[in-house]
């Protein structure tokens, strides 16, 4: 399942609601609603970072004058969620039962250690 787009600011875990685009030849930073698709030369921002963005000296900031709202889930997201729930609800396949009593005892691994159950 796709996860929602996150703010591209370093260390920010919040969901993106705005897109920042730099127009270099006009020395302008444009902060608008979240773009439909992530583009290579744009930055997704959460609301606090979109509202507090400042531009370098001599640059202008053009900011969307409305509410930044998270995008609604797409049908792809809903289908992926439904598939994940179905997959989790399926019982795990059981290994075939071997009637041979002379097999080696089961072991379990945890990292580089092995746990071997005692024999009776």
Structure tokens at 12: 């920010």
Q: Is pLDDT at 46 greater than 50 in this prediction? A: yes
pLDDT in tens, 58-110: 999 998 877 777 766 666 666 666 777 777 777 767 666 655 555 555 655 55
Share of the chain above pLDDT 70, in %: 67
Q: What mean pLDDT is predicted for residues 6-29?
A: 92
Give residue 1's pLDDT band: very low, low, confident or very high (50, 70, 90). very low
The pTM score is 0.56
In this structure, what token pair is assigned to residue 18? 């705005």
Residues 6+ apart with CB under 8 A from 91: none
């Amino acid at each position: 399942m796709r996860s929602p787009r996150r703010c591209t600011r370093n260390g920010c875990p919040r969901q993106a609601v705005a897109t920042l685009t730099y127009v270099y030849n006009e020395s302008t930073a444009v902060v608008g609603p979240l773009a439909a698709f992530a583009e290579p030369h744009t930055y997704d921002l959460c609301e606090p970072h979109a509202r507090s963005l400042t531009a370098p000296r001599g640059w202008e900031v053009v900011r969307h004058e409305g509410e930044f709202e998270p995008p609604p889930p797409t049908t792809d997201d809903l289908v992926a969620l439904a598939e994940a729930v179905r997959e989790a609800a399926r019982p795990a396949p059981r290994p075939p039962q071997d009637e041979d009593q002379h097999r080696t005892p089961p072991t379990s691994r945890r990292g580089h250690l092995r746990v071997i159950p005692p024999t009776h």
